[in-house]
Amino acid sequence: MLKSFLSPFLSASIGTLLVLASLSVSFAQVMQSDNYQIQSDSINIGGGFSSSTNFTLESTAGEVGTGISDSDNYSLRAGYQQMQEVYIALTGANNVVLSPTIPGVTGGTSNGSTTVTVTTDSQAGYSLTIAAESSPALIKGADTIADYVPTGNPDFTFTTGAADSHFGYSPEGVDVVQRFKDNGAACNAGALNTALACWDGLSTSQETIASYANSNHPSGATTSIRFRVGVGGSVAQPLGVYTATTTITAVAL
């Protein structure tokens, strides 16, 4: 006998992997042009890079006032050889269970969200991306739910037709990229970040969802990622628990 509800149809776990990456920069004067950026500079009278089969040496000569100095509130790394690596942290990104369960007769919508916070002292800022492990992202064995396909830019409204069965996401936060900003009616337009707006489908390629071009240490910046499944009333979607696994990556620039 066929039950009238697909239970538990969309208690979907969004398994999120955390990936951190950083580049080494210092906090000297930054110089840049349209095509290049010098993160740090050094004025000295000698030194350079030397290598052999077993060793490498990078040296400087003639710098004044170099070394490490610390107090209760500050740390100073003066000189080319004291340059410190960038700090970056990515926290949050818990598994997500979509709710409510979607009825198998009438269809419906199921929602969930997770929140991540990126903190970095990189003066060039950071970039936050998301990618799915599979295509389509939401699967149950051989059964799948299609990735949401917007009409060009992300759709301001998540739209589910009677014959649709799809899975999408929408990022929200102070650092979301222009693609997910809106003017109150359309996405990739204006400077608003309207809640529950600008929906896109996941991809196995990394999609940038947030970025910031400066240090945000120590407060950090939070981005919420909302997930939604819509199933139309005329879709014979097989019952069961569907799972999507995504990778969220924070990179210091």
For residue 28, name the pLDDT band (cuts at 50, 70, 90): very low
pLDDT confidence of residue 80: 67
Report the pLDDT averaged over residues 201-218: 95
pLDDT of 14 > 50? The answer is: no
Q: Residue 177: which residues within 8 A CB-CB, separation 6 or more?
A: 208, 209, 210, 211
Q: How far apart are CA 239 and CA 79, in angstroms?
A: 63
d(CA 241, CA 248): 22
| 3-state DSSP assignment of residue 23 | coil
pLDDT at 203 over 90: yes
Element (H, E) at 48: strand 46-51
Q: What is the pLDDT of residues 149-185, one digit of tens each?
A: 998 899 999 999 999 999 999 999 999 999 999 999 9
Higher pLDDT, 3 or 67: 67
pLDDT at 20 over 60: no
Buried b (16+ CB within 10 A) or exposed e, 136-151: bbbbbeeebbebbebe
Structure token digits, residue 219: 């407060």
Backbone angle region of 220, left / alpha / beta, with phi > 0 → left and psi within -120 to 50 → alpha: left
**pLDDT of 114 over the 80 cut:** yes
pLDDT of 11 higher than 70? no
Q: pTM of the full predicted structure?
A: 0.72
Cβ contact 3:104 at 8 Å: yes
Confidence of residue 65 (pLDDT cuts 50, 70, 90): low
CA distances 130 to 69, 202, 226, 249, Å, are: 39, 8, 12, 6
Look at residue 253 in the predicted model and tell me its pLDDT. Answer: 86
CB 153 within 8 A of CB 186: yes
Q: What are phi and psi of 180, to 5 degrees?
A: -105, 10
